[in-house]
């Protein structure tokens, strides 16, 4: 590493006594001359760090005159757990009317200046001073933000029972999961408390609550929507996207938020512009056709392995297969397709998550990316969690942290790299299948929403997490691969715990990368032709 600070003149002296304990902890021994040299070199590094200017000036601070926010409060009635914080915000001079008249809920892992951001946990108290890029975009499109929706603890749960603001109940059956981690978003859209809600998805956190609550949710292509100003789980699988009551609204929302923002290096610097960011008109063209021609010429591949998930509920299988069969009446060609590595993809997701997830999500230790770093929140967490911070975690988050410590100590970068390398073949498998078909279809979730534990339950993490074993089998593979994946409600199925309780189920539609519009068109045609609530 080159030296840029003149040595011997720094006021930030690192002594041999300062350095020795660090070397001892690392298992290193240096001779006295080397110890002196490195102490001097580190003094230069410390001086460089001390001379850094404040980064506050370069952060995207909002113009609070143009984007005012009022009535910030924690509601007494949080609508069965769905609201974390209420706030009213609207742009005084929007640049378009794309979302005019629409109300929007933010997921509570998104930075919105002056409004607390819990990330579903009491681990830290954080009030951001910036706005996430996509929040500014919906305000510029004329929408009104009316609050922040609850999310699961550290966004690391698929069951809606861990948010610091309380359990989020399924809109169709109190006591059952609304899905996670975008649990509040799913419920609020389903009950029409808001028109639109943001979700964020690293393993299914848009699609799980969308399926559970009977709404439409799209995990966009990785990089299509900027993740700037949103708490990360792992930059390689972070996605933010729309949740809505119908496909056209989902397309409308996506059109308002998609495209590069100049911060997020997951976004290609060119090519994402113009018609590639238009999603509503293509949907309208499809739904304007007569019934039998809406999907004329479209090839739909039914993913065999998506119906071979261990523990899959036969009612879900029957409902989704019936929904897929209906595509034929819309003019589409429907045929089976196999991607054998789909079965291994959840294993790779599981093994690839602890090391980066523990660092990025729980410790806020981001590196290796050109993006906006949330340095003020990172300051609230040290190089390791305190006992109090660990105790504030939910079962999924605490399991993540223990897994991170174990992985870091026992395996390290070698296994992490192996996992990342293996993922390439899985992604290639989907790409190959999508050369033959326009979209792939399968169940979003393998079984209906589980019952929530009793609010005062003291069950351990093993019992809690057992409720959602295998739930992400069809969702998490596409976080790793980056393909767009949309959840579309297609009917009701009996709850496993009580057959008299009927809960939504959904079909997942997966498209080529940056062909999110194809997922929307196929979903819109099915939605236009069939009423899922009557099936």
d(CA 124, CA 193): 28
- Report how many domains make up the chain: 2
Cβ–Cβ under 8 Å, residues 211 and 320: no
The arithmetic mean of pLDDT across residues 303-318, rounded, is 98
The arithmetic mean of pLDDT across residues 317-343, rounded, is 98
The arithmetic mean of pLDDT across residues 336-349, rounded, is 98
Interval 103-132: pLDDT, tens:
999 999 999 999 999 999 999 999 999 999
- For residue 10, tell me if it sits in a domain: no
- For residue 7, tell me if it sits in a domain: no
**Exposure of 496 in the CB half-sphere (CA atoms within 13 A):** 16
d(CA 534, CA 240): 31
What is the per-residue pLDDT for 387?
97
pLDDT band of 51, cuts 50, 70, 90? confident
What is the per-residue pLDDT for 50?
87
CATH of the domain at 189: 3.90.1300.10
Residues 472 and 514 in one domain: yes
- What length is written for the chain? 535
Interval 502-528: pLDDT, tens:
999 999 999 999 999 999 999 999 999
What is the per-residue pLDDT for 7?
60
Residues 330 and 434 in one domain: yes
Interval 188-207: pLDDT, tens:
999 999 999 999 999 999 99
Residues 143 and 226 in one domain: yes
Percentage of the residues of the chain whose pLDDT score is greater than 90: 91
With a cut of 60, say whether residue 178 has pLDDT above it: yes
- The per-residue pLDDT of the chain, averaged, comes to 96
> Considering just the CA atoms, what is the radius of gyration of the chain in Å?
24
Interval 244-297: pLDDT, tens:
999 999 999 999 999 999 999 999 878 899 999 999 999 999 999 999 999 999
Catalytic residue among 181, 232, 361, 481: 181
Helix residue spans in 326-386 (DSSP H) = 345-352, 354-357, 375-378
With a cut of 70, say whether residue 425 has pLDDT above it: yes
Residue 205 is a catalytic residue: yes
Percentage of the residues of the chain whose pLDDT score is greater than 70: 98
What is the per-residue pLDDT for 4?
60
Domain boundary among the residues 52, 67, 97 is at 52
Residue 21 domain boundaries: 16-52
The arithmetic mean of pLDDT across residues 417-426, rounded, is 96
Residue 174 is a catalytic residue: no
d(CA 56, CA 371): 15
With a cut of 70, say whether residue 390 has pLDDT above it: yes
Token representation of residue 490: 């297609």
Q: Which residues is 275 bridged to in the sheet? A: none
Nearest-CA neighbor of 521 among 153, 218, 138? 218
DSSP one-letter string for 463-522: HHHHTTTTTTTTTHHHHHH---EEEEEEEEEE-SS-TTSEEEEEEEEEE-TT-HHHHHHH
d(CA 199, CA 208): 10
DSSP one-letter string for 229-252: TB--S-TTT--EEEEESSHHHHHH
What is the per-residue pLDDT for 464?
96
What is the per-residue pLDDT for 434?
98
Phi, psi at 487, each rounded to 5°: -105, 125
Residues 384 and 260 in one domain: yes
The residue written with tokens 């709404």 in the block is: 215
What is the per-residue pLDDT for 8?
55
Q: Which residues is 402 bridged to in the sheet? A: none
Residues 251 and 389 in one domain: yes
pLDDT band of 5, cuts 50, 70, 90? low
Residues 25 and 80 in one domain: no
Residues 47 and 66 in one domain: no
Other Cβ atoms within 10 Å of 274 Cβ, number: 8
Token representation of residue 346: 């959840």
With a cut of 70, say whether residue 3 has pLDDT above it: no
Nearest-CA neighbor of 365 among 263, 261, 233? 233
- For residue 8, tell me if it sits in a domain: no
Cβ–Cβ under 8 Å, residues 170 and 176: yes
Helix residue spans in 224-344 (DSSP H) = 247-257, 280-287, 314-325
Residues 136 and 48 in one domain: no
Residues 24 and 98 in one domain: no
Residues 91 and 31 in one domain: no
Residue 107 is a catalytic residue: yes
Sign of CA dihedral 281, 287, 288, 290: positive
- For residue 325, tell me if it sits in a domain: yes
Nearest-CA neighbor of 248 among 277, 274, 285, 275? 285
With a cut of 60, say whether residue 329 has pLDDT above it: yes
Catalytic residue among 107, 148, 219, 528: 107
- For residue 194, tell me if it sits in a domain: yes
Q: Which residues is 379 bridged to in the sheet? A: none
Residues 292 and 398 in one domain: yes
- For residue 4, tell me if it sits in a domain: no
What's the burial of 300, exposed, middle or buried (CB within 10 Å: 0-12/13-18/19+)? buried
Token representation of residue 12: 């930030």
Domain boundary among the residues 7, 30, 52 is at 52
Catalytic residue among 177, 183, 190, 205: 205
Other Cβ atoms within 10 Å of 377 Cβ, number: 18
pLDDT band of 48, cuts 50, 70, 90? confident
d(CA 411, CA 170): 39
Sign of CA dihedral 326, 331, 337, 342: negative
- For residue 478, tell me if it sits in a domain: yes
pLDDT band of 12, cuts 50, 70, 90? confident
Cβ–Cβ under 8 Å, residues 303 and 478: no
Cis ω for the linkage preceding 363 (within 30 of 0)? no
Interval 143-152: pLDDT, tens:
999 999 999 9
Residues 178 and 248 in one domain: yes
- For residue 296, tell me if it sits in a domain: yes
The residue written with tokens 């981690």 in the block is: 181
d(CA 337, CA 307): 11
Phi, psi at 89, each rounded to 5°: -145, 135
Nearest-CA neighbor of 371 among 227, 240, 199? 227
The arithmetic mean of pLDDT across residues 202-228, rounded, is 98
């Amino acid at each position: 590493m080159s030296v840029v600070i003149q040595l011997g003149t720094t006021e930030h002296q690192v002594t041999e006594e300062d350095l020795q304990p660090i070397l001892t902890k690392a298992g290193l021994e240096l001779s006295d001359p080397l110890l002196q040299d490195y102490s001097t070199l580190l003094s230069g590094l410390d001086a460089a760090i001390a001379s850094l200017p404040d980064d506050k000036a370069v952060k995207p601070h909002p113009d609070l005159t143009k984007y005012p926010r009022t009535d910030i409060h924690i509601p007494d009635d949080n609508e069965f757990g769905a609201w974390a914080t209420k706030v009213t915000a609207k742009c005084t001079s929007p640049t378009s009317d794309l979302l005019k008249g629409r109300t929007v809920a933010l997921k509570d892992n998104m930075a919105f200046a002056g409004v607390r951001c819990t990330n579903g946990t009491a681990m830290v108290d954080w009030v951001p001073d910036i706005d996430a890029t996509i929040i500014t975009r919906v305000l510029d499109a004329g929408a009104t933000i009316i609050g922040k929706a609850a999310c699961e603890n550290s966004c690391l749960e698929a069951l809606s029972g861990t948010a610091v603001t309380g359990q989020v109940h399924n809109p169709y059956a109190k006591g059952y999961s609304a899905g996670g981690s975008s649990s509040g978003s799913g419920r609020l859209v389903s009950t029409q408390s808001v028109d639109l809600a943001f979700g964020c998805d690293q393993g299914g956190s848009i699609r799980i609550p969308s399926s559970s609550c009977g709404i439409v949710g799209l995990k966009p292509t990785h990089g299509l929507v900027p993740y700037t100003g949103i708490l990360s789980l792992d930059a390689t699988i972070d996605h933010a996207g729309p949740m809505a009551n119908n496909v056209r609204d989902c397309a409308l929302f996506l059109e308002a938020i998609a495209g590069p923002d100049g911060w997020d290096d997951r976004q290609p610097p060119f090519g994402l512009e113009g018609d590639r960011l238009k999603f509503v008109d293509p949907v309208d063209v499809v739904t304007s056709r007569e019934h039998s021609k809406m999907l004329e010429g479209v090839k739909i591949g039914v993913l065999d392995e998506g119906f071979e998930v261990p523990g899959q509920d036969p009612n879900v299988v029957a409902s989704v297969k019936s929904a897929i069969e209906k595509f034929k009446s819309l003019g589409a060609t429907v045929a089976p397709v196999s991607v054998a590595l789909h079965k291994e993809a959840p294993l790779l997701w599981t093994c690839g998550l602890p090391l980066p997830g523990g660092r990025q999500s729980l410790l806020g230790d981001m590196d290796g990316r050109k993006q906006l770093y949330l340095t003020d929140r990172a300051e609230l967490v040290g190089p390791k969690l305190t006992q109090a911070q660990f105790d504030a975690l939910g079962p999924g988050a605490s399991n993540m942290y223990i897994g991170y410590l174990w992985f870091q100590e026992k395996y390290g970068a070698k296994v992490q790299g192996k996992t990342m390398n293996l993922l390439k073949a899985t992604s290639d498998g989907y790409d190959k299948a999508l050369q033959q078909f326009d979209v792939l279809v399968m169940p979003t979730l393998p079984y209906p929403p589980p019952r929530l534990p009793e609010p005062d339950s003291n069950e351990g993490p093993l019992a809690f997490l057992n409720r959602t074993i295998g739930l992400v089998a069809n969702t998490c593979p596409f976080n790793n691969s980056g393909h767009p994946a949309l959840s579309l409600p297609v009917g009701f199925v009996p709850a496993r715990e009580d057959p008299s309780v009927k809960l939504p189920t959904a079909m997942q539609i997966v498209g080529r990368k940056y062909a999110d519009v194809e997922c929307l068109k196929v979903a819109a045609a099915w939605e236009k032709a069939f009423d899922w609530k009557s099936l």
